[in-house]
């Protein structure tokens, strides 16, 4: 069917004179015209020009008008074409048969020009409107489809039995199933046992009653992994006005809430850890203070002094812990400063090491700083100072009296060349550095070292290795350091030999050292 403003009319009549009369009449109104002089020719012409309207004579030799009408109606491409049958007014039987064959209207023969033109005008105008509506509907469908395809949320449409009829690309990304794999299957495809144990009946009852269902479920991905999803299931109603608002299917929207759930779980874990960690020094302080009060008169000066010192020590632990917890909460809530400035790493290492020299001297440790190159990085001064201080402080803490600690800075170009092998070997994990130029800094100590089984955990929150010496700490320093380094697009690594010592290394992208 043509989509232009002008309708195409196929005139079918075996008599030339009749065709000519119609040509004369219809040309006046500007239609596109096509002609056929027999039933056979009419079908061929119709297939060729795809008319909007067929003006069909009944009495034709060979295939008559009724047969042409029936054949047009059963042709996929032409079944919607409008058909006006031209019959004699008094031929009631012919009209009945025409209706049964699928005709839309009649005009009387002999032709009344005014009537014919009026009928054709009305019927073609209606047809144009219908076509316009169909086009609008199609455009609406296309638009809905585009929206669904572009949507970040997974959308799945099923029939009333839960058989999947459509899923958008986001649903494929979330579930792992392509349209080909999912369509025709039951929506249980990605349900886990956890979701299956839900009271299906109650859930279905409310849906069938036209209510929308919201919930959180654990679904399984095609590859076997699971994900948390926020689910909205809404009933889909029949567009048919007669069907009385009946539910014909469901629209399911799945939103991936795995990261959210993960964050919730680690927050719960964190809060319970923090309360535990806070309680330990607090109960020690309470106990020590109680003892001091209770036995005050019986204790000598030195004993009292020792109790006060212990109280101060544990108060400091509490103080450090609260500081670290606040820092972590700032990091977790994204309230951490992202301010950056050009910095010289070697200068910062020098400064921080000097600040801690006194601490090392109290333990008669030798603290060396060896930095030759200027190492320009762009970063947050306070945060990077905190990392350096934490690593040097740990080295002092976990190294016995009289041990040695050395801080070194160096420039790396990754990947390392063969000649760098020796140098690379003593820098933990630097072979895994992505290509680029790196400002590197390491702290080497001759301390107690870390067993391999603990090494992989020491960057976790609250993870502490139990050591005999009972060294003060919160178990948060390294986890904070790693986060701060990652916020600077850097890397932190460790290597250690129990009883011999540890090396912690930090790699930061060099300023202007393009990562290529
Ligand atoms: P903290 O030192 O407060 O316990 P960290 O997060 O800084 O917490 O360190 C976690 C754990 O890693 C420490 O408890 C300790 O067992 C181990 N560790 C860190 N640095 C060293 C080091 N230089 N030598 C030996 N063990 C270390």
Per-residue model confidence as pLDDT tens digits over 149-195: 998 899 999 998 889 999 999 999 999 999 999 999 998 888 876 55
Compute the average pLDDT of residues 196-223: 78
CB 165 within 8 A of CB 158: yes
Q: How confident is the model at residue 3 (pLDDT cuts 50, 70, 90)?
A: very low
Q: Does ligand 1 lie within 6 Å of residue 393's CB atom?
A: no
User: Which atom in ligand 1 lies closest to the alpha carbon of residue 473?
Assistant: 3
Mutate to test the pocket of ligand 1, among 475, 479, 492, 503 (most ligand atoms within 8 A of CB): 475
Residue 495 main-chain phi, psi, to 5 deg: -140, 150
d(CA 492, ligand 1 centre) in Å: 14
Query: How far is the C-alpha of 460 from the C-alpha of 328, rounded, in Å?
Result: 12
Separate counts of helices (H) and strands (E) for the chain: 16, 17
Q: Are strands 376-379 and 341-344 parallel, antiparallel or unpaired?
A: antiparallel
pLDDT above 50 for 1: no
Compute the average pLDDT of residues 394-410: 96
d(CA 466, ligand 1 centre) in Å: 10
Compute the average pLDDT of residues 102-108: 89
| Rounded alpha-carbon distances, angstroms, from residue 348 to 344, 378, 468 | 7, 13, 33
What pLDDT is recorded for position 41? 95
User: Which atom in ligand 1 lies closest to the alpha carbon of residue 467?
Assistant: 16
For ligand 1, atom 13, name the residue with the nearest CA: 464
Compute the average pLDDT of residues 387-413: 95
Residue 52 main-chain phi, psi, to 5 deg: -85, -30
Q: How confident is the model at residue 200 (pLDDT cuts 50, 70, 90)?
A: low
Q: Does ligand 1 lie within 6 Å of residue 228's CB atom?
A: no
Nearest Cα to 491, choosing from 508, 476, 468? 508
Q: Does ligand 1 lie within 6 Å of residue 51's CB atom?
A: no
Count of other CB atoms within 10 angstroms of residue 36: 24
Residue 437 main-chain phi, psi, to 5 deg: -110, 130
Count of other CB atoms within 10 angstroms of residue 185: 14
CB 78 within 8 A of CB 70: no
Q: How confident is the model at residue 95 (pLDDT cuts 50, 70, 90)?
A: confident
What pLDDT is recorded for position 420? 64
Query: How far is the C-alpha of 183 from the C-alpha of 238, rounded, in Å?
Result: 20
Q: Does ligand 1 lie within 6 Å of residue 445's CB atom?
A: yes
What pLDDT is recorded for position 201? 61
Q: 87 forms bridges with which residues in the sheet?
A: 108
Helices (H), 155-197: 169-175, 179-182, 193-196
User: What contacts 328, CB < 8 A, 6 or more positions away?
Assistant: 270, 461, 476, 479, 480
pLDDT above 50 for 514: no
What pLDDT is recorded for position 185? 92
pLDDT > 70 fraction of the chain, expressed in percent and rounded: 94
Q: Are strands 501-509 and 436-445 parallel, antiparallel or unpaired?
A: antiparallel
Nearest Cα to 256, choosing from 186, 170, 196, 190? 170
Q: Is 401 buried (19+), middle (13-18) or exposed (0-12) by CB count in 10 A?
A: exposed
Compute the average pLDDT of residues 236-261: 82
**pLDDT: which is higher, 187 or 198:** 187
Query: How far is the C-alpha of 450 from the C-alpha of 498, rounded, in Å?
Result: 5
Compute the average pLDDT of residues 309-326: 90
Q: Is 151 buried (19+), middle (13-18) or exposed (0-12) by CB count in 10 A?
A: middle
Query: For the whole model, what pTM was predicted?
Result: 0.54
Q: Does ligand 1 lie within 6 Å of residue 395's CB atom?
A: yes
Q: Does ligand 1 lie within 6 Å of residue 394's CB atom?
A: yes
Q: Are strands 105-109 and 154-159 parallel, antiparallel or unpaired?
A: unpaired
């Amino acid at each position: 069917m043509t989509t232009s403003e002008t309708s195409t009319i196929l005139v079918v009549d075996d008599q030339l004179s009749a065709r000519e009369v119609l040509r004369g009449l219809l040309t006046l109104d500007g239609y596109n015209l096509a002609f056929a002089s027999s039933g056979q020719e009419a079908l061929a012409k119709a297939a060729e020009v795809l008319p909007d309207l067929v003006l069909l004579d009944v009495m034709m030799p060979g295939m008559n008008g009724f047969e042409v009408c029936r054949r047009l109606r059963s042709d996929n491409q032409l079944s919607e074409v409008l058909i006006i049958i031209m019959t004699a007014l008094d031929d009631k039987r012919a009209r009945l048969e025409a209706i049964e064959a699928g005709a839309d209207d009649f005009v009387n023969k002999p032709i009344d020009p005014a009537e014919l033109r009026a009928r054709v005008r009305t019927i073609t105008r209606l047809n144009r409107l219908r076509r316009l509506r169909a086009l609008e509907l199609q455009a609406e469908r296309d638009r809905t489809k585009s929206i669904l395809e572009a949507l970040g949320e997974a959308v799945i449409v099923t029939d009333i039995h839960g058989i999947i009829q459509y899923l958008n690309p986001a649903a494929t990304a979330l579930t792992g199933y392509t349209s080909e794999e999912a369509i025709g299957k039951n929506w249980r495809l990605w349900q886990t046992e956890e979701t299956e144990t839900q009271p299906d009946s109650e859930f279905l009852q409310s849906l069938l009653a036209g209510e929308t269902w919201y919930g959180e479920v654990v679904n399984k991905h095609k590859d076997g992994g699971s994900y948390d999803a926020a689910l909205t299931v809404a009933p889909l109603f029949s567009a048919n006005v007669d069907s009385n608002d009946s539910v014909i299917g469901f629209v399911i929207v799945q939103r991936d809430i795995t990261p959210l759930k993960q964050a919730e779980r680690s927050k719960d874990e964190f809060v319970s850890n923090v309360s535990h960690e806070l309680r330990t020094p607090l109960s020690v302080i309470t106990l020590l203070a109680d003892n001091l009060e209770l036995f005050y008169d019986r204790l000598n000066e030195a004993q009292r002094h020792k109790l006060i010192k212990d109280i101060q020590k544990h108060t400091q632990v509490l103080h450090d812990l609260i500081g670290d917890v606040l820092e972590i909460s700032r990091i977790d809530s994204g309230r951490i400063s992202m301010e950056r400035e050009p910095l010289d790493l070697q200068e910062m290492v020098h400064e921080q090491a000097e600040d801690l020299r006194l601490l090392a001297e109290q333990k008669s440790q030798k603290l060396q700083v060896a930095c030759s190159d200027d190492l320009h990085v762009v970063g947050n001064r306070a945060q990077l100072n905190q990392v350096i201080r934490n690593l040097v402080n740990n080295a002092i803490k976990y190294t016995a009296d009289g041990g040695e600690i050395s801080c070194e800075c160096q420039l790396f170009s990754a990947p390392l060349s063969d000649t760098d092998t020796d140098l690379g070997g003593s820098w933990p994990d630097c072979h895994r550095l992505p290509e680029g130029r790196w400002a590197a800094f390491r702290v080497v100590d001759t301390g107690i070292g870390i067993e391999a089984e603990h090494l992989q955990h020491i960057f976790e929150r609250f993870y502490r290795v139990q050591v005999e010496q009972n060294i003060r700490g919160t178990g948060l320093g390294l986890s904070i350091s790693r986060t701060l380094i990652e916020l600077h697009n850097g890397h932190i690594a460790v290597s250690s030999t129990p009883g011999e010592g540890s090396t912690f290394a930090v790699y930061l992208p060099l300023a202007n050292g393009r990562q290529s």
